[in-house]
Amino acid sequence: MTHRRPLCARQHGDQIDRPALDGHYVCESCRDHVERCLAELPPLHRELESALIPTTPEGPRTSGGGEISLPIALHVAAVRYDIEDYARQLAAWIADQRGHTPPDDITVAACCAWLARHVAWITARDNAAEVVDALDALRARGLHALKPSGRRRFDLPDDRGACPAGDCDGRLTVTLNGPRSALACDLDETHRYPVDQWLDLGRDVHRQAA
Ligand SMILES: [Zn+2]
Ligand SMILES: [Zn+2]
């Protein structure tokens, strides 16, 4: 019946082999990582915008050779572009393969929200490991590009940042901190949503907005 590999097709950072999810090409932690990347890339992409303008200029270069310091951080612009490009291409590919309508809004937030509904389909493709690697690399590059500012905490866009707890007017803030990454409400510290709840949360927020 099935010729799928029993082990996750992806090389893990810790070199440990993990069983693939039944009927899928990657393991549970790689599937979770796809969900995490799709949740984190939109706020990361947005936050990178503020890192586009270098805040600590190195001063005039005197080394000659016509080197001019640019007014924007090219590596930040590049990673932002790559996040946009990949999210769109992945969505376009899945829409084409599945005969679905692609997201009509091509912002990173809209593409990632759309992609989040296709995670199980992605992990069941034979190129699933490549997709996880690509998303992981974009997230890592984005975080790295942000590092100079030391900021790992940022607000969500207006249409997504409302705390979903009933009767709460708080705003959600993302804190990226590996497995302890969380969304937290700025009014009530008991309103805290770890990464593994982000997808459900997205659905709730969607439902409330609808
Ligand atoms: Zn895996
Ligand atoms: Zn709240």
- Mark whether 90 and 126 lie in a shared domain: yes
User: φ and ψ at 69, to 5 degrees?
Assistant: -80, 130
pLDDT tens per residue across span 29-65: 999 999 999 999 999 999 898 888 765 545 454 444 5
| C-alpha 132 chain-centroid distance | 11
Mean pLDDT taken over the chain: 82
Residue-level pLDDT at 26: 96
- Mark whether 16 and 120 lie in a shared domain: yes
How many domains does one find in the chain?
A: 2
**Sign (positive or negative) of CA dihedral 22, 113, 141, 65:** positive
Give the span between the Cα atoms of 70 and 142, in whole angstroms. 20
Q: Read off the pLDDT of each residue in 155-179 and give the average, rounded to a whole number.
A: 76
**Whose atoms come closest to the Cα of 29: which ligand?**
1
Going by pLDDT thresholds of 50, 70 and 90, the confidence category of residue 202 is low
pTM of the model: 0.66
Asked whether residue 157 carries a pLDDT value surpassing 90, the answer given is no
**What is the CA(182)–ligand 2 centre distance, in A?**
13
Give a yes or no: residue 192 inside a domain: yes
**What is the CA(19)–ligand 1 centre distance, in A?**
8
- Mark whether 126 and 186 lie in a shared domain: no
- Mark whether 146 and 160 lie in a shared domain: no
User: Which residues, 6+ apart, have CB-to-CB distance to 47 below 8 Å?
Assistant: 146, 151, 154
Q: Read off the pLDDT of each residue in 166-181 and give the average, rounded to a whole number.
A: 76
Going by pLDDT thresholds of 50, 70 and 90, the confidence category of residue 166 is confident
Provide the domain limits for residue 164.
Answer: 152-210
Give a yes or no: residue 205 inside a domain: yes
**What is the CA(122)–ligand 1 centre distance, in A?**
13
**What is the CA(140)–ligand 2 centre distance, in A?**
29
**What is the CA(31)–ligand 1 centre distance, in A?**
7
**What is the CA(2)–ligand 1 centre distance, in A?**
19
Out of 115, 133, 150, a domain closes at: 150
